[in-house]
Structure 1
Amino acid sequence: MKLQFVFISVWLQIVQASSTWHFYSNPEYKVMACKAGLESVATWCSEGSSKSYKCACTNEPELGSWLNCVYNQTTENDVFAAESQVIKYCDKVKATLTHDKLKDSYANATNYLIDVSKDESFNKTNPINYPITFNKKASKAYKGYYIGYKHRYDNVTTSHYLGIVSLSMWVALFAFASVLHWIGRLFPSSKKALTGSIIDNYRKFIALAPTFNKSHLQPVDKLWAHGYFPTRFESIVLIIHFIYTAVACSAIGFTYTKGDMVFKNYMAGTSRYYGDRSGIILSYQLPLLFLYAGRNNFLQWLTGWPYYRFVTFHMWLARIIMFQVLVHSLAFVAQSDALGKTHSRLQAHYYIYGIVSTVAGCLILPLALQPIRKFAYEIFLFVHIVLVVMFTWTAYLHAEYLHYGSFYWVCCGIWLFDRFVRLLRAFAFGIKTAKASFLVDEATIKLTVPCPNYMKPFPGSHVFVQFLTPTTFWQSHPFTIVSSTTDENQFYLYCKVKNGITKKLLQKFQATEGSEVNIKVLIEGFYGSESPYHHYDKAVLIAGGNGISGPFSHALKLATSEVSKTETKLFWQVRDYSVLNWLGEELMQLKNTKVYPIIYVSDPNSSIDSVHLKSSSFDNSDNDSCEKNSPGENIKDANYSHSFMMDKFGFIEFHQGRLNATEIVASEIRESAGSVAIGACGHPAMVDEVRVAVKNNLSGSNKRVEYFEEMQAW
């Protein structure tokens, strides 16, 4: 709990980072415009930049001319504020002035004011040593500079406000979701009472619905940039954020006026306005990008949302931010050309850093495409981290030049804090020796991992595993946990053999003759949250293949709970009966409990005679037939095998064929007398089918139907 509030305090630094924002008042605009307007008419010092206040503050004739303009352009109520701004600017060049000294300088200057427009020998380029009047030419220049400064810095002020609003919209969303989540957690009956046409229609058409048709977790197009479609709720949130960002960056609060003396042509002024606006707004949004990607994101705890929702927000927010980065970069390219400063800016370090940061950011997006993440995850992860570090560091160097670097320190703080907590989790768990066995028929590696006495897994939890071998120690892979039914100090991980680390482990098996190998692992966890099935009258858990880990853990806890009265059904889609080799011992724990397991076998004849039933693994008290077989012996006779298996697993209802999730969901909701909680984990297509089936069966029901997606996707 304390850790969460520490992280909240880090996140709130996003707002504090805006403390470098300087708010320009109207008297300050007049002070700035008076100086610039007078210096466009006359010169007092031969050395120094027009942007410097040294001459204006230390040269008595220019100071007097400047004050003459300031006092003539400000009202009586603004005189003190204007004088304060003059003093502030002069302090920066170490010229100590007071309000009394300013009044004395002005009074002295009024005795010697000269109108240079009436002096035919006057030459602007030659320094003068007397104060000048605020003539018609100076007045015109003053107005041009006043307009230019006001438009430029009012745009900066508006940009900060729009950035704060952008951040506040996310805060409001999370606050609302957090309130709903914790009301449901602390008062479970209140959530079960949330039924009716309005709530059901919201959940049916927004909360549970995929954005398009039925596809959410399953990739619609393998070459598509994201790979997974957001839910409709996520899409609505992202679309609102995109529309707001697009409008805020392009259509609110800035105009160009002819006669502007700061930006003397339309392109120079407008491109600067677009550049400042997009750069400031993205500075407020960028820390969210780092926060959403973190494993220890406190918002998961507050809202109860799954990790993959924040991954979805991370991916799409990255695209929106890069849209702003491109607008920012192209705007300053256009302004550099309009001002004729392209060559000089290309020599400036801050400009070069901006170019490098933009290129790095543009490379991040295509190199994070779904095919790369899926088929070369380790390469993607390494390149992604390198490019993100390059983008952040060079963006910081670029932004620090204009005093916006604190936003990037917030990003670094969030990233480093997440890494720090991950290290704490890993060290708390410690390096363990896991026993790995290869389940040939299932193409699955089973890891038996010991855990410390002070850390216990919970249903639905997952861990990140680092296999400590010379070539894989730096890789971190997520796996869902199955608690051991015989030893509370260990748990199991079932790892489907694919092309990455699991394939290397398989090669390790093939190089040895034993059925088990020991491997050092570093575990980071436990992560996730436990879905509250026990608060509902019925729990329907639907799993496919290796997706059984989470649903089984929930079913086992419901089965062993002395308090829960939840009617529980566990549906499992498998390819063949060989799954009993690796989960048979665990399934036996559901015998004579209130959990009713149902297994669908799509290919029942492929491996029924390869089921290995170890006498030490099962309870033989009900039938002595098991004694006819030695431990681990194959049951060769198919008919005998079938009858023996049905006898030992008679509490399980077996079906031949594929599981029809749509029919199961509709039937279970229809037959339930009270509230129903439905959970799914397995192949993405099956999980999507369950989600759509749940939303389609909400209408017309006076009972609360909840859906928990146990599958983690990233």
Structure 2
Amino acid sequence: MLFKYLLSFLLLSQVVVSHPKYSYHSDAAISYYGCNYLVRETASFCGEKFAGCTCHNSYAIATIAGCLNDGKAPDGSEKAYFAYCEKYNYGTITEEMYWAAYENYTKYAVYPYEIEDYNMSVPYEVPLKLNSTLIKYYKQSYYNDYGNLRDSLYYGSGMLGYWALVFLLSGIVHWTKVLFPAFVKKFVGPISNCWRKNVTLPALFKKDKAKDISCYKVFNFLAPSRIESIIIFGFCLVTTFCSAYGLHYFDEDVLYADREHAMLKYCSDRTGIIATILVPLLILLAGRNNFLQWITGINFATFITYHKWVARVTFIEVVIHAAVWTKIFKLDNEMSEYYALNLMVWGAVATVAGGLSWILSILYLRRNWYEIFLLVHIILAVFFVVGTWYHVIDLGYLEFLYASVAVWAFDRLVRVARLIHFGCPKAEVSLLANETLKVIVRRPKFWPAIPGGHAFVHFMRPSCFWQSHPFTFTVSPDSDENIVMYCKVKGGVTHGLYQYLNTYPGKTTQIRVSLEGPYGEPTPARAYDSAVFIAGGNGIPGVYSEVLDLAMRATVSSKKALKLHWIVKDYNSIFWFYDEILALSNTKVQCTIHITREKNHFDDDRISERNIDMHTSSDDSIPNEKKSQSPNFNSTDEVNANTISMFKKDLRHVSFLESRPSIENIVKAEIEESYGSVAFVTCGHPLMVDEVRYCCAHALYDSKGKRVDFFEQLQIWA
């Protein structure tokens, strides 16, 4: 795992450093550009305005040398001069040639007005002195223009640096919790609790974080958590500063006709360069195989949140760049046809693709037509990158596109490698209670079943083999060589499988599958004195796999308390996970199942689907094998009452509470009962997850010196 992440980082670094062709301009180079332009505007030593004339004509070289040494020239400006001539193959100038030319300049140079009937189109065999004030104006003009190109690289890199700082701090916090849990437990004072209660734990407003916020039904959105919002807001402030700082105009500018033209050009360059620099980060944050996840401990859903906001900021920069450049194009009638086609057309392709990608990414479309959204999103991303590529192909910023393509290609390569490594075995796929898909598949020998992890499953059917969907998995209670995955039937692939399985007896068949994964990491709950897992409905598999792993690792003398609360609608909702709950009987996990409906009856069809035999014997032992006969009762009420009774007898290690639980009371009680630090881990319905988050945050002040932390397994990125 670590090798994979390091390899991706090294690959990205190599792509960037192997193409050092950024449009970077040092002060020395800018000083030369100003002099070169002034000389070409003043004289024609070769009989024409040939750019290479200043690199091989001795009088031109002497004039350039005089200009560079007028006043206090930046150190190394002559080296920038030599490099310019070498770069464009205009000629080679040595140190000896340059200083010899400068000596001739000091002896023989004259001002143009000293030459009778001076004509700048006529070549003269004498070095020319240039007006010191003009030299200053030309250098300053180039410093404003080319210096802005250089500063744009700095500021764009600063924006990447902002995220590097965020990830560094996140990594420090994450690995401190993992490596030094005893040290973390000491942070229980009023300052620490205040910070976590008001900043790191809560939702942005009130409780809604996992639950989407409705806005005219169609325009729903997910609000980031408070700490995520602070990070995003900080990024927006940094972006505003980096996009506007240092743009200024002076009245004697010789490159642009007026202030409007100059400021438009500066703004266009700044926003365009910043947007280009952000593209690799934009793609990296959206990748499944993102090495930053391992470094920072940040889950994929949070990275997707950051991806969305970086994408929005990038698109705003692109829109500003496009609008300003369009204005420049209208002002500049002398712009070449090549620039009109290359810059405007390909820039428009990238801008339109980015805009459509943003519009078509609204939550309503992602939730209702996810497969279509994903396909369209990828196609538009390709158009955006290709459009940007051809837009900047001659401007010196392709390195960032190289890095972007490398990040995307590496992510895809790793994903394909994961699929090949897992193979394409047959899996037993069942439909349970017409609402849940259960997939049992043998895992390769070296495929780790990460507690709390998930994998993307490809069902190898003609109608959907190219699509992948995330399933949380757990090790099968019958054999640790098999993993079991559950997924609630919704739309798309799961609904297609629902219809397919309904055509088979017992609603079970074998389908070849391939898994891309595993992804995810267990929470740091293993380091706490009490670990409380709260699951709702179909959110149980990941929570279960982690609490079971902790129970298997616990020693006989361990004082760690392991609690599992599972909230379901009725007893029928337990059947699909019956075997796993039964497997907790020989562990120290204290399991409580909350039944929320007032009337709880068994659906006999569901019982037969699971082939679970409730025992009529008075023997209190839990049998290792299923009995051959099912109970036979005379009435529906008797069936329900006796079935529930025997069901509880089989699961006698489970406490059943037939009422809607109070999350607040659960949190308070678990903190009160714990002798030390408490970790709450939750997954399930967004409303429940948000309630657990809220209650944990507000319980910090009453924790009585105990460290209380909240960890969320629910990941929403659709």
**Where does 1:366-445 land on structure 2 (aligned, <5 Å)?**
366-440=359-433, 443-445=435-437
SS of 1:608's equivalent?
Answer: coil
Label 1:458 to 1:115 Cα distance change in 2 as closer, same or farther (>3 A).
closer
Q: Deviations over 1:400-451 (max 9, x none)?
A: 311110011111111111111112221111112111111135x111111111
2:584 to 563, 582, 590: 590
- For 2:357 and 2:345, locate their aligned partners in 1 and report how far apart those are by CA, in whole Å: 19
Label 1:149 to 1:530 Cα distance change in 2 as closer, same or farther (>3 A).
same
Label 1:697 to 1:32 Cα distance change in 2 as closer, same or farther (>3 A).
same
- For 2:521 and 2:707, locate their aligned partners in 1 and report how far apart those are by CA, in whole Å: 21
SS of 2:328's equivalent?
Answer: helix
1:249 to 221, 243, 251: 243
Label 1:95 to 1:367 Cα distance change in 2 as closer, same or farther (>3 A).
same
Q: Residue 552 of structure 1: CA displacement?
A: 1.6
Counterpart amino acid of 1:461? G
Aligned match of 1:200: 193
1:55 to 41, 53, 77: 53
Aligned match of 1:185: 178
1:240 to 218, 231, 234: 234
Q: Deviations over 1:357-416 (max 9, x none)?
A: 111111111111111111111111111111111111221222231111001111111111
Label 1:18 to 1:271 Cα distance change in 2 as closer, same or farther (>3 A).
farther
Counterpart amino acid of 2:37? A
Aligned match of 1:542: 534
Aligned match of 1:643: 645
Q: Is the 8 A contact 1:556 1:589 kept in 2?
A: no
**Where does 1:270-669 land on structure 2 (aligned, <5 Å)?**
270-341=263-334, 344=337, 347-440=340-433, 443-563=435-555, 564-603=558-597, 605=599, 607-610=601-604, 611-612=607-608, 614=611, 622-623=619-620, 630-631=628-629, 636=636, 637-669=639-671
Label 1:36 to 1:638 Cα distance change in 2 as closer, same or farther (>3 A).
closer
1:100 to 96, 99, 103: 96
Q: Is the 8 A contact 1:484 1:492 kept in 2?
A: yes
Q: Deviations over 1:483-509 (max 9, x none)?
A: 211111112111211111011001112
SS of 2:239's equivalent?
Answer: helix
Q: Residue 177 of structure 1: CA displacement?
A: 2.1
SS of 1:233's equivalent?
Answer: helix
Q: Deviations over 1:73-131 (max 9, x none)?
A: 155x86x834333333333333233233334445556777565436674444x433433
SS of 2:701's equivalent?
Answer: coil
2:82 to 82, 87, 102: 87
Aligned match of 1:705: 708
Moved more, 326-335 or 23-32: 23-32
Q: Residue 651 of structure 1: CA displacement?
A: 2.5
Q: Residue 539 of structure 1: CA displacement?
A: 1.8
Label 1:682 to 1:341 Cα distance change in 2 as closer, same or farther (>3 A).
farther
Q: Residue 640 of structure 1: CA displacement?
A: 2.0
Q: Residue 515 of structure 1: CA displacement?
A: 2.8
Q: Residue 141 of structure 1: CA displacement?
A: 4.1
Q: Is the 8 A contact 2:12 2:403 kept in 1?
A: yes
- For 1:394 and 1:45, locate their aligned partners in 2 and report how far apart those are by CA, in whole Å: 40
Counterpart amino acid of 2:79? S
Could you list the runs of 5+ residues in structure 1 that have no partner in the other structure?
A: none
Q: Deviations over 1:243-289 (max 9, x none)?
A: 11111101x22210011111221122111211222223333332221
Moved more, 576-585 or 555-564: 555-564
Q: Residue 700 of structure 1: CA displacement?
A: 3.4
2:691 to 685, 689, 699: 689
- For 1:556 and 1:16, locate their aligned partners in 2 and report how far apart those are by CA, in whole Å: 46
Moved more, 565-574 or 372-381: 565-574
- For 1:302 and 1:236, locate their aligned partners in 2 and report how far apart those are by CA, in whole Å: 21
Label 1:588 to 1:332 Cα distance change in 2 as closer, same or farther (>3 A).
same
- For 1:17 and 1:140, locate their aligned partners in 2 and report how far apart those are by CA, in whole Å: 41
- For 1:15 and 1:628, locate their aligned partners in 2 and report how far apart those are by CA, in whole Å: 62
- For 1:599 and 1:35, locate their aligned partners in 2 and report how far apart those are by CA, in whole Å: 81
What number of residue pairs does the alignment pair up? 703
Q: Residue 309 of structure 1: CA displacement?
A: 1.1
Aligned match of 2:4: 3
Counterpart amino acid of 1:706? D
Q: Is the 8 A contact 1:434 1:518 kept in 2?
A: yes
SS of 1:469's equivalent?
Answer: coil
Q: Is the 8 A contact 2:593 2:655 kept in 1?
A: yes
- Match status 1:127 vs 2:129: no
Q: Residue 466 of structure 1: CA displacement?
A: 0.7
Q: Deviations over 1:305-349 (max 9, x none)?
A: 221111111111111111111222222222223333467366342
- For 2:40 and 2:212, locate their aligned partners in 1 and report how far apart those are by CA, in whole Å: 64
- For 2:641 and 2:707, locate their aligned partners in 1 and report how far apart those are by CA, in whole Å: 45
Label 1:142 to 1:668 Cα distance change in 2 as closer, same or farther (>3 A).
same
- For 2:410 and 2:439, locate their aligned partners in 1 and report how far apart those are by CA, in whole Å: 30
Q: Is the 8 A contact 1:114 1:130 kept in 2?
A: no
SS of 1:221's equivalent?
Answer: coil
Counterpart amino acid of 1:378? E
SS of 1:416's equivalent?
Answer: helix
SS of 2:42's equivalent?
Answer: coil
Q: Is the 8 A contact 2:23 2:396 kept in 1?
A: no
Q: Is the 8 A contact 1:568 1:595 kept in 2?
A: yes
- For 1:206 and 1:620, locate their aligned partners in 2 and report how far apart those are by CA, in whole Å: 56
- For 1:3 and 1:437, locate their aligned partners in 2 and report how far apart those are by CA, in whole Å: 34
- For 1:672 and 1:286, locate their aligned partners in 2 and report how far apart those are by CA, in whole Å: 48
Q: Deviations over 1:592-617 (max 9, x none)?
A: 53222211222353542524474679
- For 2:339 and 2:52, locate their aligned partners in 1 and report how far apart those are by CA, in whole Å: 28
Aligned match of 2:137: 144
- Match status 1:211 vs 2:212: no
CA RMSD of aligned residues (A): 2.9
Label 1:149 to 1:687 Cα distance change in 2 as closer, same or farther (>3 A).
same
Aligned match of 2:44: 43
Q: Is the 8 A contact 1:459 1:557 kept in 2?
A: yes
Q: Is the 8 A contact 2:613 2:630 kept in 1?
A: no
- For 1:650 and 1:174, locate their aligned partners in 2 and report how far apart those are by CA, in whole Å: 46
SS of 2:360's equivalent?
Answer: helix
1:678 to 677, 680, 688: 680
Q: Identity of aligned pairs, percent?
A: 33
Counterpart amino acid of 1:253? G
- For 1:346 and 1:176, locate their aligned partners in 2 and report how far apart those are by CA, in whole Å: 44
Label 1:147 to 1:381 Cα distance change in 2 as closer, same or farther (>3 A).
same
TM-score in terms of structure 2 length = 0.91
Q: Is the 8 A contact 2:615 2:630 kept in 1?
A: no
Q: Deviations over 1:169-203 (max 9, x none)?
A: 22222222222322221222222222111111111
- For 1:448 and 1:329, locate their aligned partners in 2 and report how far apart those are by CA, in whole Å: 52
- For 2:616 and 2:259, locate their aligned partners in 1 and report how far apart those are by CA, in whole Å: 85
SS of 1:296's equivalent?
Answer: coil
Could you list the runs of 5+ residues in structure 2 that have no partner in the other structure?
A: none
